[in-house]
Amino acid sequence: MNSKIKKSILGIMTGMSMDGIDLAHVDISGNFPHIELDFIGSHSVSYDQKTKEYMQSLKSPSIETLAIANIKVAELISDCINDYLLKNNLKAVSIDAIASHGQAIYHSDKEPKTTLQIGSPSIIAENTSITCIGNFRMRDIAGGGTGAPYAPILDQFLMKDESNPVGVINLGSISNISVIHHGKCKVGFDMGPANLWVDYLSKKAPLNHSGIDYDGSLSSKGKVLPSLLNQWKKNEYLTRIPPKSAGYQDFSTKTVEAEIGNHSLNDLIRTSIEFSAYCIQTAIRQIAETTPLQKIYLCGGGVYNPTLTKSIKDNLSGVEVLSINNTHGKEFNDNKEAVLFALLGYLTTQKQSAASFLTTGSKTNGVYGEIALGDSLTI
């Protein structure tokens, strides 16, 4: 273990939306949960249309395509890192480690549990000269866990001063929740799609250059389709008992794709949002049996969709719904998942297991992440 007290980590997140890369530069010191975390800066790269289409093709690739993509994704991540260093006049030697989630290709918490993220840490280390830590989820699965969600470990730190039980809900492609009380995570799991179906359908809308339901502009013009919503509510995942984690196959976009010819896009988008809110409501009701929540914080890209946030509030009567934007700022919210992986990478450098701070069901205390050493040959 390096005796250096403070570590400077670049956290990298490439999410299920497959539309770009987020980088968070974080300085961290101390032993978790008693740490100091300073958010230094961020950098984001949005993929061009050709790259987006290439990334989407990786959901059902051949072995050869996947092997090549493992290198290509790592090169994209490397370019993002080197661009950040250049723009901020930083030398590679000033960074202790890169912590890269990689691009999720497959994840299942059903037996045999498995997960796959691509973007070779060795390629990233070679291209940046910085030690790279990656493949964080497999060690959790090896220990009997579900490999996700990991957000609870950062949420514990963010909500350590809350005296009453509080929920933190991340609205990414998939929604997940952390329930924090007295600085510890009581429960944390994936709930259902948040933006996954909404983004997929929004990309089909004519002249919608953003590719998303920007500011609720599409969903606000649609109506909820009750019969279709009731059909979606029968999804088997919603009946599973935590710990649980969701992958593409649990909420396949084929479900909504099959309905495109039967209903207007705006109605499908609005109904998808209502289903997202229903998944959250179902989870909160399950949690309330043991830990009633009076307050939740929303974070992630979904906080910018007023149709989604209103639907969540309407489905959670009696619960105060706030935003991480108000407590930690927009830049932090936009890069929260990248900050999370910076924290996980920091724990790796300290040889500290994340398992005891998560609720994935892992039964061991393994240190997460696989390491490709950079030019310094040390972490």
Neighbours of 144 (CB within 10 A): 14
**Domain at 6-147+364-372: CATH architecture:** 2-Layer Sandwich (3.30)
Tens of pLDDT, residues 1-19: 443 589 999 999 998 889 9
Residue 367 burial (C-beta neighbours within 10 Å; 0-12, 13-18, 19+): middle
Average confidence (pLDDT) over 37-54: 95
Q: What is the mean pLDDT of residues 107-128?
A: 96
Do the beta carbons of residue 147 and residue 113 sit within 8 Å? yes
Chain mean pLDDT for the chain: 95
For the segment 326-364, what is each residue's pLDDT rounded down to a tens digit?
Answer: 999 999 999 999 999 999 999 999 999 999 899 999 999
- Look at residue 377 and tell me whether its pLDDT is greater than 90: no
* CA pair distance 291, 145, nearest whole angstrom: 22
Q: What is the mean pLDDT of residues 300-310?
A: 97
- Say yes or no: domain 151-328 is CATH 1.10.10.10: no
pLDDT at site 376: 74
User: Rounded to whole angstroms, what are the CA distances from 38 to 24, 70, 178, 314, 357?
Assistant: 11, 31, 22, 35, 20
Average pLDDT over residues 173-190: 95
Task: Give the residue range(s) of CATH 3.30.420.40 domains in the chain.
Answer: 6-147+364-372, 151-328
Query: Does position 60 have pLDDT exceeding 90, yes or no?
Result: no
DSSP per-residue letters across 34-95: EEEEEEEEEEEEEPPHHHHHHHHGGGS--HHHHHHHHHHHHHHHHHHHHHHHHHTT--GGG-
Give the model confidence (pLDDT) of 123-133 as tens digits: 999 999 999 99
pLDDT digits (tens, 9 = 90+) for 199-216: 999 999 999 988 899 999
Buried b (16+ CB within 10 A) or exposed e, 305-322: bebbbbbbeebbeebebe
